[in-house]
Amino acid sequence: MGLFRLLVTGAAVAAGVHYVTKKREDGSSLLDDWKAKAPEWKEKAEPYIKQAKEQFSKMSGNVNTGSGNYSQKFDTDSSDFNSSYTS
Q: Could you read off the pLDDT of 2-15 as tens digits, one per residue?
A: 999 999 999 999 99
What pLDDT score does 59 carry? 86
Measuring CA to CA, which residue among 33, 8, 7, 30 is closest to residue 17?
30
What are the tens digits of pLDDT across the range 22-40? 999 999 999 999 999 999 9
What pLDDT score does 69 carry? 54
pTM over 0.75: no
Query: Looking at the predicted structure, is the pLDDT value of residue 67 above 70?
Result: no
Banded model confidence at residue 60, pLDDT cuts 50, 70, 90: confident
